[in-house]
A and B are shown apart, each in its own frame.
Chain A
Amino acid sequence: MTSLPVIAPDETAQSLTERICAVALREGAPAWTPVWWWLAFGLSLGLLGLGVVAVMWLFYAGLGIWGIDWPVAWGLDILNYVWWIAIASGGTFISALFFLLGVEWRTALNRLAESLTLCAALCAAIFPILHLGRPWFFYWLFPYPNTMGLWAQFRSPLVWDFFAILTYVLASILFWYFGLLPDLATLRDRARGQGRRVFYGVLALGFRGSGRQWQHYRSVYAVMAALMAPLVVSVHSIVGMDFAGSAATGWHSTQFPPFFVFGAALSGFAVVLLALLPLRSLLGLHPYVTERHIDVLGRLLLTSSLCVGYAYVMDAFATFYGPDAADRTMFMLRAFGLYAPVYWGTIVLNIVFPQLLWWQSLRLTQPLVWLIALGVLTGMWLERFQIIVTSLARTQLPSAWGQYTPTIWEWSLLFGTIGLFLTAFLLIVRLMPVIAMAEMRAMLRGMR
């Protein structure tokens, strides 16, 4: 199985650098900027515009424009937040965890994965602010010294969450940017126009490739990777505790922290596959992103899908093993009631379809893998829907049961963040090296 090559055999450091730089610097054989990019970018900007309108209208009219209600006071806002932050895990898993593990296939993927993480984390970070009734006071969650003598309430999982997200977003940006420095320096050195030289030169922060700089670079990068790896676990555990830390039916579950980490891994690998497969052919990355990578990602997807499946089974088991009748009522609604399609959709998309990845031939059938990855992202969204909405819709008191139907403004915001994600990602793809050239060159040297 490991016989698949991690890089095309005839690639050299020279050819790799030229090819990757050509994308960013609009030089070389392909006629840049290609039409598909403009089309995609236009679509993304359109979605982003929709999101901007949705946010403006939200600020003007208030939370009432959404479908959230009593008793379902959290809806697509928190759902999208959890979904995006889970998507943001992929880069960190691949980039930091597998860096520490020293696996060779990680090198060609890490830039792409980290960029996806960054964009997704930005999308996620919007929602904790937007979901507030009075968003202009969001900073009250932060323990800053103030004349009112007030402090954040540290027992609340939302405060933990605020810190976790802030830390994760900042760390992701730093990790991504720091890893870019040598490549930015390469671009600076190869750029022809003055403007481009200044642009990349400023971004490269004076990285010149001296031995001393490389030494510092390597040690800082290793330290950051060592920090990021536990951070990705902590952030998703804390997102899990946003729910597990409450007493609400269906949320009050001790398995939520690992369950959310599993879910995050699943979403993260899926989004990497989802972006990687089209980019590979559109940018001609076949020599560097080989079938080996697709195979590995498929296996990771399958593994995390099995972990998530285990969590689903435990969730159902705990519900019926435990004494709480309200839990069972809620579970019955989840599995057989109004929201049953959501539950079974989750199971099919997250657990059943990924089982096809047991076969290597199917793992290497790219359209199928792409569809499975898309299905997993949809499935993860549905999973959050059933966790958040069905739990709140069936609380302990039957008198306080209810339903939730998202409005067009909540959907607009979801598609708006998708627009934000794509816009940012397309800009990165267009302007930055999509493959970590310096690390690839180091790997090539190591292989020789």
Chain B
Amino acid sequence: MPPLDRLPDDPAGHVPDDAQEWIRRFPVLEQALSHPLDRRRTLKLLALALAGGGLAGCDPGTPDRGFVSAVRAAPGVIPGVPNIYASAHVRDGYAHGILVTHQMGRPIKVEGNPAHPASLGATDIFAQAAIQDFYDPDRASGPLQDGMPASWQEVTTALQALRAQGAASGTPGLRILTGTVGSPTLGAAIDAVLAAHPGAVWHQWDAIGRDAVRQGAALAYGLPAMVIPDLRQVDVMLAVDSDMLDSAPGHLRHARAFAARRNPVRGPMNRLYAVEPTPSLTGIAADHRFIATPAGCDEIIGRLGARILRNEAPSGGPPWLEAVVADLRAHPGRALIHLGPDHGPESHAAIHAMNEALGGRGQAFGVFEPPEYGPASTQSSLSDLMDDMENGRVRALLILDVNPVYQVPRFAEALRRVPLSVALADRPHETAMAARWHIPLAHGFEEWGDARADDGTATILQPQAMPLYGGVSAVTLLRACAGEAVRSARDQVRATWRDRLGPERDWRAALAAGVVPATAAARIDAAIVPPGGPFVPVRHTSGGSADLTLLLRPDPHLWDGREANNPWLQELPRPLSKTVWGNPLLIPPDLAQARGLRNGDTVALMVGARRVELPVWVQPGQAPGCIVGFLGSGRRHAGETGNAVGTDLYPLRDESALVRMVATGRAGVVACTEHHATVIADAPSDIVRHGTLAQFRRDPAFLGNARQDEPVPAAALYRRKPDAPVAWGMSIDLNACIGCNACMTACQAENNVPVVGRSEVLRQREMHWLRIDRTYEGTQDAPDTFFQPMLCMHCEQAPCETVCPVGATMHDSEGLNVMVYNRCVGTKFCSNNCPYKVRRFNYFAFAEQERRPPISRNPDVSVRARGVMEKCTFCVQRIAQARIAADRDGVPEQVVTACQAACPTQAITFGDINDPDAAVSHRKVSPLTYVALPEQGTHPRVTYEGRIRNRNPAIAL
């Protein structure tokens, strides 16, 4: 078709040939063109051209992408009824099973897969936030060559050239760089490329690697192995700088098993000791938390080895060590030591030997075949690759879904020496921009795949939606590189699992369940290699001087930086510091005092010749002389949300020079959801109640106030308990809560809670309906730290309700404190009058300003407008769905709130407190049950179970 703009150029009356087609389609044109053009007619034509332009923008609809009429719904899609499909969330090669909830064919919420051993129904923050990643508007939409848009045809041609070149020279110099690969299908595809290109090399590397863990196991057992703790069977555990409850593979399962034995009301407690340089979730959950620098941890490992492996007499060391060793030894077979990934392989091997000596194998832990595909030492692999790149031995490099240009200093220079570099990336990130070719990567929700959990259990990843932006999977790209005939990813996955899931019935069952049966890794019989001589720690932390140690750790929410463009995770308060949108340097209180630094002051951090400036944040309970920086911030090409948020600390990595920190004298600004100086209470709090197991044994109800909370009849002026058959209530077990924030992200996803951005957080306007309050007690050098989820208490005597002049917040008959958004005029009095401060106000149209597309929202939850108050509803939409299901099927209502569903430790229980058999009723009669701020007389429907710690009496506090 000719463009319309040619028409007015022609002499009047003459219709050019190529306009005939237009005239045939729009007969009015003939009349228009047969007359001399006047202004009016020209305008008409212009309008027509404009409309034509709009039509041209419509997707023509290709055979495989036909439109689905709204009149006839797609099969299986019923408006308003969610569909649920199993899949898995994969991070650094290890998967945990998820169930993706769809509404009208679009994924809107992630839940854990109860059938999956690494999920058990729970999710972590990353899986919850995957919805934002999927709908991220900054994802790549097409291939780029040297930064210019290219067609898929050109990509194919380039890959053909790569193959031809390899075939011609015989030594192709092809390299493949991936992260840890757990997917058998992807592994097979890599093998296919390696087979098609003789001499090609596969390098594995993760920015936040677990090399030391893998090498340590290999050292200990003489072959690649995966050592998996089974916390269900552990009575006493020592966690040394451990990430067991935070982020280790299988952490959701570990957290579940750990927390299941934390409430003395429900059974005997386990005991956890933690030694660590900077507070972690594992450390906060511990009964005893000891503070040690990394060097101190090494020393402790050495002394533990001396005591446990060689039975040497105790000599020196921290005073508590002997009591811990005695406790570990007193529980043979049920004691475990766990070491975090930031320690060297030798340390891990030593710990494995100690665990064997404590007799825990088969009970407290097991040794399994590793789930990774072709486990390899990855750090050396990357340095080999960079050597080869710098020396021109790499002719072509495929970078699959890793971002070394951002994460590895000097990688960008090395990459320039590679003639053909192809980056498969979900967005034009640093590496994709530096590579010759950028090929868009399909999101895990868009393509078929498979993945394995830490224990080897496999899951088939089914696509959850048509690709939003275009993009291919790594498997597809690799098969194309291998020169194979184009096969769909589904066929390839199917082929991988032909042996196990041959029949269609089995295949479908595995898809539906989200688990391929009987794929858990086998136990290994390998005996421990006895350590030769005393353990000598190998220094592994970067840098270090006599008084300053720099620890660079993954950001708890952005991880290695990949989540930097995820607004939910950027605005999720870091568990301890509660900082958001940035990565201040965490410094210990004594250092802050010595240098006169306060929260937000800017320092220059120098490691050798490298220098970065960033603000500091005082972290109570951090080891003296240890400064902690979170990697993953300061992205240059993460996307509009994540660019230039925080400071990039990767340049400081792998430097062995002295660390220096100099105050610049400038005050920076750190966004934090605690809008005041850190409070360290000197007296036990009434808000987070806690005590010891010994106290509990003397008087189990010593913390509870539920009984005193019973109403005095004469004082109850207003009718307190509505008289509906159902009364919703919640119980939160502070013994189980580890402060992982999964509930916060789940709430945000479920309830369309908007993200407000850094500047609005600085103006104290974050919108989280559910927050995790973090309380410090004691001294700032070694505080007692507590987490407490805080959400709308659904008070039976709700102070918010009495002050609303228009009745926009009311009580319903089932005890829900409901918020009628349409009625709210925005006086904000309810927020002022809420003792728990769980109400949030839309100062601006925050939801409208979000970058996420409207289709990504939960259609069952209103999106709130400007000027309206909002708060937790106890997931009233889920209650409504459960009621419909109950009415239809005649079974009791089963309501699971979003926070409850996500919680790895089942700290949150929700249900009908009128039903004495409901789980929530059982929990509410626990002697530990108390309500927050009882003196307010609000009679909350949310109660807490006070935290009990199983202190070792032999250790003086």
Contacts and interface: CB of A to CB of B under 8 A. Distances in A.
Interface in A394-441: 395-403
Contacts of A140: 805-806, 823, 825
Contacts of B866: 62-64, 133-134
B782 interface: no
Interface string A134-150: 11011011000000001
B773 A132 contact: no
A150 B804 CA distance: 13
Contacts of A152: 805-807
A246 B867 contact: no
A134 B824 contact: yes
B773 A397 contact: yes
B806 A153 contact: yes
Nearest to B767: A70
Nearest to B866: A62
Contact of B823 (A74, A150, A397): A150
A395 B837 contact: yes
Contact of B675 (A132, A137, A159, A403): A403
Contact of B828 (A61, A133, A247): A133
A246 B803 contact: yes
A392 B807 CA distance: 22
A67 interface: yes
B867 A69 contact: no
B799 interface: yes
Nearest to A245: B803
Contacts of A132: 825-827, 867
B827 A158 contact: yes
Nearest to B763: A69
A53 to B, nearest CB: 19
A153 B805 contact: yes
Contacts of A61: 844
B221 interface: no
A246 B835 CA distance: 10
Contact of B868 (A133, A151, A153, A245): A133
Given A62-B866, A162-B805, A67 B825 contact: no
Contacts of B807: 150-153
B848 to A, nearest CB: 11
A400 B833 contact: no
A135 to B, nearest CB: 8
Interface in B49-94: none
B829 A156 contact: yes
B773, B807, B824, B845: most-surrounded residue (chain A CB, <10 A):
B807
B284 to A, nearest CB: 16
B494 interface: no
Nearest to B836: A397
Contacts of B488: none
B675 A73 contact: no
Interface in A54-103: 61-64, 66-74
A155 interface: yes
Contact of B805 (A69, A134, A141, A396): A141
Contacts of A73: 828-829, 831-832, 841
Contacts, number: 164
A277 interface: no
B775, B805, B831, B832: most-surrounded residue (chain A CB, <10 A):
B805
B936 interface: yes
B935 interface: yes
Contact of B765 (A70, A131, A400): A70
A228 B396 CA distance: 91
B826 A134 contact: yes
A157 interface: yes
Given A133-B826, A247-B835, A399 B674 contact: yes
B687 interface: yes
Contact of B837 (A70, A150, A247): A70
B806 A396 contact: no
A156 B833 CA distance: 11
A73 B842 CA distance: 11
Contact of B764 (A63, A155, A158, A403): A403
Contacts of A392: 832
B136 interface: no
Interface in B757-784: 760, 763-766, 771, 773-775
A383 to B, nearest CB: 18
Interface string B927-944: 000001101100000000
A324 interface: yes
A159 B807 CA distance: 11
A6 interface: no
Given A69-B765, A74-B828, A248-B832, A398 B805 contact: no
Contacts of B845: 62
B835 A141 contact: no
Interface in B671-691: 674-676, 679, 681, 687
Nearest to A151: B807
A133 B867 contact: yes
B635 interface: no
A324 B686 CA distance: 12
A156 B802 contact: yes
Contacts of A400: 836-837
Contacts of B303: none
Interface in B171-194: none
Nearest to A67: B763
B920 to A, nearest CB: 23
Contacts of A134: 824-826, 865-868
B818 to A, nearest CB: 14
Contacts of B681: 398
A371 to B, nearest CB: 35
Nearest to A129: B825
Interface in B830-874: 831-833, 835-837, 840-845, 865-869
Given A150-B807, A396-B936, 13 more contacts: A62-B845, A63-B843, A73-B828, A74-B829, A132-B826, A134-B825, A134-B868, A156-B802, A156-B805, A158-B804, A158-B805, A246-B829, A324-B935
Interface of A: 61-64, 66-74, 131-135, 137-138, 140-141, 150-153, 155-159, 162, 245-248, 251, 323-324, 392, 395-403
The 5 lowest CB-CB distance pairs between A and B, nearest first, are: A133-B826, A133-B867, A400-B837, A69-B764, A64-B843
13 contacts: A73-B829, A133-B866, A134-B826, A153-B802, A155-B802, A156-B805, A245-B803, A246-B833, A395-B837, A397-B773, A398-B681, A399-B674, A402-B676
